[in-house]
Amino acid sequence: MGVLLDGIAQLEYDREKLLPDHQAAYLDKMDEKMAEGIAIGEEEIKNPDVNQRAQFVVGNLLHALKTDNEQVAGAMCSYLAIRMPDLKQVKINEQEGEVTIEFDFENEYTNQVAVEFKLH
């Protein structure tokens, strides 16, 4: 699974690797806290569903990416990959202060490769 911000890959999650027990416990604790209620925009949501939780997690993921908080970004990415096993890509676009989120369940994520050009 991949996380893209404005079309550029930010994080990858390999579902083939097992999640360590302490990280799985952290995700369970996240679910417990979210069950108590979350805020998405101006809306307070009690006992959110999977999609609402995913939107909330992506908001935290975006904040973690922007503040270079790799640990939180990794945890948020893990949450999305594990709680939404069919999710292939999270596409976050930010333009003029507006954020759009697309959950892509169709298109497999492929690694982006940097290509170096030499000008003569």
Question: Is residue 68 a part of any domain in this protein?
Answer: yes
Q: Residue 17's pLDDT is what? A: 87
Question: Is residue 94 a part of any domain in this protein?
Answer: yes
Question: Is residue 114 a part of any domain in this protein?
Answer: no
- Number of domain units in the chain: 1
Question: Is residue 81 a part of any domain in this protein?
Answer: yes
Q: Residue 18's pLDDT is what? A: 87
Q: Residue 62's pLDDT is what? A: 94
From first to last of the 120 residues of the chain, give the pLDDT tens digit: 999 999 999 999 998 888 889 999 999 999 999 999 999 888 899 999 999 999 999 999 999 999 999 999 999 999 999 999 999 999 999 988 888 999 999 998 887 655 566 665
Q: Residue 111's pLDDT is what? A: 72
Q: Residue 41's pLDDT is what? A: 80
Question: Is residue 112 a part of any domain in this protein?
Answer: no
C-alpha distance from residue 61 to each of 6, 106, 115, 118 (Å): 14, 21, 27, 35
Domain that holds residue 79: 2-104
Question: Is residue 116 a part of any domain in this protein?
Answer: no
Question: Is residue 53 a part of any domain in this protein?
Answer: yes
Question: Is residue 117 a part of any domain in this protein?
Answer: no
Q: Residue 115's pLDDT is what? A: 56
Can you point out the beta strands (E) in the chain? 2-5, 8-12, 38-40, 43-45, 89-95, 98-104
C-alpha distance from residue 62 to each of 67, 70, 115 (Å): 9, 11, 26
